[in-house]
Amino acid sequence: MFKLLLGSLAATALWQGVVATPAYGNSDIDRFVNKQSRVSIKGVLANIGADGKRAKGAAPGVVVASPSTSDPDYWYTWTRDSALTYKVLIEQFIHGDKSLRRKIEEYISAQTELQGVSNPSGSPESGGLGEPKFNVNLTEFTGSWGRPQRDGPALRATALTLYANWLVSHGGRSEALNKVWPVIEKDLAYTVRYWNRTGYDLWEEINGSSFFTLSASHRALVEGAALAKTLGKSCPDCAVSAPRVLCFLQSFWAGDYIDSNINVKDGRTGKDANSILSSIHTFDPNAKCTDSTFQPCSARALANHKAVVDSFRSIYDVNAARHQGQAAAVGRYSEDVYYGGNPWYLTTLAAAEQLYSAIYQWKKQGSIVVNQVSLPFFQDLLPNISIGTYGKKTKTFKSIVKAVQSYADNFVAVVQKYTPADGSFTEQFERTSGSPLSAVHLTWSYASFLGVAERRAGIVPPSWGETRANTVPSVCERAPACDSTITFKVLDAPVSNNNVFVVGSITELANWSPEDGIALSASDTTADLWTVKVKIPSDTIFEYKYIIKTSDGTVTWESDPNRRATSSSGCGSSASLDDEWR
């Protein structure tokens, strides 16, 4: 009771301008966090319709990614960004800021409407919840985009589960059951059905299996199953699917870091800040330093933190004097070319937040374990440290906490250095000069700072049940297949040999890779007809094209536009696509 009261008071103090400071505090960072927290909450609320000053024209409760309408145009609402933003706001609400309740209720109403909007990813019943973004007036966005993106429903389920649990514990069971659960239920059903299918990653560039998506899915299924039980509802497939997801998550561990995108040929190392964002999103204050769920203090998460941060040290001029063991500006991934590839505010802040969360976990469990996996991380900060377990009363424990606290604060100091005097956050800061770059007043940047401020103050979210869901099954099980057999047929391809292929926007069609295209065979009955049968998950919207490859490697694509189709409904169903070469 006493600890909970302190957490509530600290949260209230945060918005009154008195930031709770950790041991070994840095007074300059204290002042910056105090000031920037005020700016950031205002920045978030300004970007939420209908009364946000930078969100005029957006529907109530809708999060506008940025007021920027050109170079880049972010005048849309992303399911992912919105859920992550509202997760922060709901945590603030739980910690004492009850002024946010209207905004939360408007968000629920907006998401209820969006879940019913058919879009290029599908209908509400056939994959439409995986559509990444919508117009701010809650209508579908029909332009070309990387779709589907399967993290949005899981993230939204998590944000609303936090709120539903609060309602239940504060006399609002009926509201949780009748207003919030229907949204969560649809998102959980989507997650159960689609977690084992590929989709676009957090950065909307890679179509494969994403660590961030799978981590979010595991958490949502665990806490969703518990909420269903609390409300007397049913979600049996949530409990069955969660360990399957957890088992698959172990596939991303590369030995000393997390390979953030697998089952795709992306030409990258896989060292990606999305793995750090995953660790802080799935942080559970009641958890141990569990490797299987990549908790912030786990050996795997710490080793990965080092690998990801180190990958940016030599490529950004702003990091020229920032050596190993010193905080650095962090981008998305080292191979990034978007706007020239730069550090981001939210990824640099995520590096700090993981460390603050780890400190909380170490203090709560009363010890720090240094093993072979985490040793390089600790040696960067304390070169003479050795493998062992250090209790909270030891000098080594205190030295580690002090060093990691300073390390985390210095990531915040990097952000401070490149934040304008008015506290406004863009998306990125330029890799050479540190000047703000890309979308102005990015909502996600502001929301990220609020999360960092809370973790630094020792304010943590409710547990999502990690301790009862961190055991990895001895044998991994895939989700039950529900495929449709599609026969691709193309007439009059200008070839004389068996070198006609089909490629497309989904993994089953090689993710547009000519090298891995699916070969068609000449028909026995029609010389000019080429066919192939491909199993594709049912009710899946996809784009495709036929190509010709010659023996010397030359690839000829048929003319635009891309062809578009939907696999047939029902497990074991079949359909045929009858095309002519263009």
What pLDDT does residue 9 have? 34
Longest Cα separation, the chain: 82
- Does the structure show a pLDDT above 70 at 23? no
Residue 282 lies in a domain: yes
CA distance 536 to 540: 7
CA distance 294 to 298: 6
Tallying the residues shown for the chain, one arrives at 582
Residue 29 lies in a domain: no
Residues 365 and 275 in one domain: yes
Q: What is the pLDDT of residues 377-394, one digit of tens each?
A: 999 999 999 999 999 999
Q: For the residues of 197-235, what is the DSSP string, one character each? A: S-EE-TTS--EEEEHHHHHHHHHHHHHHHHHHHHHT---
Six-digit token string for 228: 């269903």
**Residues with Cβ within 8 Å of residue 253, at least 6 apart in sequence:** 259, 300
Residues 224 and 354 in one domain: yes
Six-digit token string for 62: 């809708």
Task: Judge whether 145 is annotated as a binding position.
Answer: yes
Residues 114 and 263 in one domain: yes
CA distance 83 to 542: 26
Residue 26 lies in a domain: no
**Residues with Cβ within 8 Å of residue 517, at least 6 apart in sequence:** 501, 502, 503, 510, 547, 549
Q: Is the pTM of this model over 0.85?
A: yes
Residues 184 and 46 in one domain: yes
Residues 222 and 368 in one domain: yes
Residues 408 and 516 in one domain: no
Q: What is the pLDDT of residues 268-324, one digit of tens each?
A: 999 999 999 999 999 999 999 999 999 999 999 999 999 999 999 999 999 998 998
Residues 52 and 121 in one domain: yes
Query: Which helix (DSSP H) or strand (DSSP E) does residue 565 occupy?
Result: strand 563-566
What pLDDT does residue 3 have? 35
pLDDT band for 26, please (50, 70, 90 cuts): confident
Catalytic residues: 201, 204
What pLDDT does residue 68 have? 98
Q: Percent of the chain at pLDDT above 90?
A: 85
What pLDDT does residue 495 have? 79
Residues 462 and 561 in one domain: no
CATH code of the domain containing 515 = 2.60.40.10
Lowest average pLDDT, out of 186-195, 200-209, 397-406, 507-516, goes to 507-516
What pLDDT does residue 518 have? 95
Q: What is the mean pLDDT of the chain?
A: 93
In the block, residue with structure tokens 């899946």? 540
What pLDDT does residue 286 have? 97
Residue 322 lies in a domain: yes
- Does the structure show a pLDDT above 90 at 535? yes
Q: What is the pLDDT of residues 473-500, one digit of tens each?
A: 999 988 788 889 999 999 988 876 668 9
Q: What is the pLDDT of residues 157-187, one digit of tens each?
A: 999 999 999 999 999 999 999 999 999 999 9
Backbone torsions φ then ψ of 256, nearest 5 degrees = -140, 5
The mean pLDDT of 42-54, rounded to a whole number, is 97
What pLDDT does residue 25 have? 60
What pLDDT does residue 475 have? 93
CA distance 471 to 473: 6
pLDDT band for 552, please (50, 70, 90 cuts): confident
Taken in order 575, 580, 581, 582, the sign of the CA dihedral is negative
What pLDDT does residue 279 have? 98
Residue 258 lies in a domain: yes
Residue 553 lies in a domain: yes
Q: Percent of the chain at pLDDT above 70?
A: 95
Backbone torsions φ then ψ of 519, nearest 5 degrees = -75, 135
Residue 14 lies in a domain: no
Residues 434 and 517 in one domain: no
- Does the structure show a pLDDT above 70 at 15? no
Residue 203 lies in a domain: yes
Looking at the 3D structure of the chain, how many domains does it have? Answer: 2
The mean pLDDT of 512-534, rounded to a whole number, is 87
Buried b (16+ CB within 10 A) or exposed e, 2-17: eeeeebeebbeebbee
pLDDT band for 568, please (50, 70, 90 cuts): confident
What pLDDT does residue 478 have? 81
Q: Which of 416, 437, 468 is the last residue of a domain?
A: 468
Domain encompassing residue 562: 483-580
Beta strands in 371-517, from DSSP E residues, in sequence order: 388-391, 428-429, 436-437, 483-491, 500-504
Q: What is the pLDDT of residues 410-453, one digit of tens each?
A: 999 999 999 999 999 999 999 999 999 999 999 999 999 999 99
- Does the structure show a pLDDT above 60 at 19? no
Q: For the residues of 281-326, what is the DSSP string, one character each? A: HT--TT--S-TTTT-TTSHHHHHHHHHHHHTTTTT-GGGTT--TTS
- Does the structure show a pLDDT above 50 at 10? no
Residues 575 and 492 in one domain: yes
Q: What is the pLDDT of residues 312-364, one digit of tens each?
A: 999 999 999 899 889 999 999 999 999 999 999 999 999 999 999 999 999 99
Residues 361 and 433 in one domain: yes
What are 436's strand-pairing partners?
A: 429
CATH code of the domain containing 111 = 1.50.10.10
**Cα atoms in the 13 Å half-sphere on the side-chain side of 288:** 11
Residues 146 and 290 in one domain: yes
In the block, residue with structure tokens 């606290």? 405
What pLDDT does residue 553 have? 80
What pLDDT does residue 434 have? 97
The residue among 95, 111, 91 whose CA lies nearest residue 48 is: 111
